Structure 1
Amino acid sequence: MTEETISQLKKSFSYGSRSDMNFKFLKDLTDEEVTKFFQELLWKLGDTLDDGNLQRIISHIYQYQQKGYVGTGRFKYETTAFTQVELQKDKMRFALIASTGHFVQGQDPKPFGVEDMTQNQAEERITDFLRLEPELTSIPTNTPPDQLKVRHGGYDVRGAIMDRNVNFPIDRLNELAADGIIGEFSSPAYSFVGACSQMRLQNHALPRWIEKLHNEEIHGLILVPV
């Protein structure tokens, strides 16, 4: 049996032999932090076996996810997407854009020309996605849940499959519009795969998308990054 170092272990969770999108953050921790993460996790599992309290496990994982992801981004922007709102929300027309990889059944964007690409295949081709200019997919806001699909090589999509509003909140925004809290929820909503070429996103895709939203007379944009 080949011995494995802590460094090799933590990297294996990020598109390696143990690839797991929920735990790929381990590669960005130090070896000491990874050791501490697993040791404390086992302690907390023991306590949970006694009292059934899963919250300590969830909190522990979230704590280390935050440690892993802080400061890992390579791209920095001089400006932000946030602008002071001057209109009243109940007079505004809102649109939704999410980097979640959603699309309507039968309208698969077919990345790289691949028919019915699976989630596993998307994860295996993450490096290819990171070179790709993103494509915006249109999703009518009345799309039934069973007609909305999701695929993204950069995160675990199981939560999004169980409840689309986890990261694509069209039902919640429809409710806000119906209750008069916002003026209108514009249809269609939009999604793209955020694991893409950031330079092509910034320099090529975004200017076109902004022009499109201006033409749709959108007042406010709900951005959901993953």
Structure 2
Amino acid sequence: MARPDDIPQPTRDAVLNLPCPVFETTPFVAGPPLAQRRVAILSSAALIRRGDPPFPFGSGECRFVAADTPAADLLVSHVSINFDRSGWQRDINVIYPIDRLRDLAASGEIAGVAETHYTVMGSTDPAEMQQAVNQIEGQLRQERIDSILLSPV
């Protein structure tokens, strides 16, 4: 992750001036124990399947990623000078921890892994993402997924 001093202007001021919500110290929703939850991933890496068009800069869209998509078929279309790409190039689980979720499901620590996962462009103004939020919510309800692992990039 880049330090603010490493980010060029005007991006630095934009990042430093973003509103940051304050959350209570307790969860805002209740739910079953982790061992009873089915989990989906939401990555801000703007993942695409090889051959798909990349996310446009600042895009508020969401794309679905099937759980059975081979890691070799996934590319990152998030464009930013603010992060080091070498980690995910060695191990996709750095930005899309699908294998780690499968391990947790196999050991019984979670009930299961979603069939569908989600990806967005991380450098997008959240105010532009309402349609994506609605799409994700609808798919989560359809698959009866009760937890999301956020994987920010």
Structure 1 residues 196 and 72 mapped into 2: Cα distance closer, same or farther (>3 Å)?
same
**RMSD of aligned Cα (Å):** 2.9
Q: May I ask how many residue pairs the two structures share in their alignment? A: 145
Give yes or no for contact 1:95–1:221 (8 Å, CA) kept in 2: yes
Give yes or no for contact 2:47–2:120 (8 Å, CA) kept in 1: yes
Structure 1 residues 213 and 79 mapped into 2: Cα distance closer, same or farther (>3 Å)?
farther
After the TM superposition, which residues 51-66 of structure 1 pair with which residues of structure 2 at under 5 Å, given as runs?
none
Give yes or no for contact 1:105–1:149 (8 Å, CA) kept in 2: yes
Identity of aligned residues (%): 26
**TM-superposed deviation, 1:223:** 1.0
The 2-side partners of 1:111 and 1:98 are apart by: 13
Structure label with greater radius of gyration:
1
1:25 aligns with 2:10: no
Structure 1: unaligned runs, 5 residues or longer: 1-21, 30-67, 113-128
Q: Give the counterpart of 1:89 among 34, 50, 54.
A: 34
Q: Which amino acid aligns with 2:19?
A: F
What's the TM-score once normalised by structure 2's chain length? 0.77
Q: What's the counterpart of residue 216 of structure 1?
A: 143
Q: Give the counterpart of 1:181 among 98, 102, 109.
A: 109
Structure showing greater relative contact order (alpha-carbon pairs closer than 8 Å, 6 or more residues apart): 2
Structure 1 residues 196 and 86 mapped into 2: Cα distance closer, same or farther (>3 Å)?
closer
**TM-superposed deviation, 1:104:** 1.9
CA-to-aligned-CA distance 1:153-188 (integer Å, 9 cap, x gap): 123323211111112101100111112110010012
More strand by share: 2
What's the TM-score once normalised by structure 1's chain length? 0.55
Give yes or no for contact 1:151–1:157 (8 Å, CA) kept in 2: no
Q: What's the counterpart of residue 159 of structure 1?
A: 87
Structure 1 residues 136 and 28 mapped into 2: Cα distance closer, same or farther (>3 Å)?
closer
1:150 aligns with 2:76: yes
The alignment partner of 1:161 has SS state of helix
More helix by share: 1
Q: Give the counterpart of 2:47 among 91, 102, 108.
A: 102
CA-to-aligned-CA distance 1:117-149 (integer Å, 9 cap, x gap): xxxxxxxxxxxx23x3x2222222232222121
